[in-house]
Amino acid sequence: KQEVTQIPAALSVPEGENLVLNCSFTDSAIYNLQWFRQDPGKGLTSLLLIQSSQREQTSGRLNASLDKSSGRSTLYIAASQPGDSATYLCAVIWYNQGGKLIFGQGTELSVKP
C-alpha cells in the first residue's frame, strides 16, 4: 500500500534554530513530492514541489530534498522564526494514480520567541 509518514507529529524549537522535518514514503515510483504549510483553520499553501527527477528544491529559507531510493524527503528550515509556526504536510503523487495526492499526517511546528 502506498503510504506517507511524517515524524515527529509535533516539534517545538527556539527562534533562530535550524530544523529538519522528515517525510518517508513507501514505493519509490513517485511522480512528485510536495511540501505544504497549513495555518490553523486555513487551507494549504504550497511551499515546494520536487519532481521525480530532481534531488532538491530551494525557496528562501526552505530547502527540500528527495531520496527516492530510501523513500525519504526532508524539509530544512533555516533560522526559524515565530511566523514559521504552522503544520507542515508532505504529500506524494505516484504514477498511474490519477494525480491523487497521498498526504502524511503532518508535523506541527512551534517556534518560540
Partner 1 sequence: DGGITQSPKYLFRKEGQNVTLSCEQNLNHDAMYWYRQDPGQGLRLIYYSQIVNDFQKGDIAEGYSVSREKKESFPLTVTSAQKNPTAFYLCASSPRPGQATSNQPQHFGDGTRLSIL
Binding site for partner 1 (CB under 8 A): 9, 31-32, 34, 36, 41-46, 49, 51, 89, 91, 93, 98-106
CA angle at residue 22 from 20 to 24, to 5 degrees?
A: 160
Closest distance of CB 84 from partner 1, Å: 19
Closest to 102 (Cα-Cα) out of 22, 52, 94, 46: 94
Closest distance of CB 52 from partner 1, Å: 9
Contact 22, 10 (CB under 8 A): no
Nearer to partner 1, 18 or 46 (CB): 46
- The SS3 call for residue 76 is strand
Closest distance of CB 47 from partner 1, Å: 9
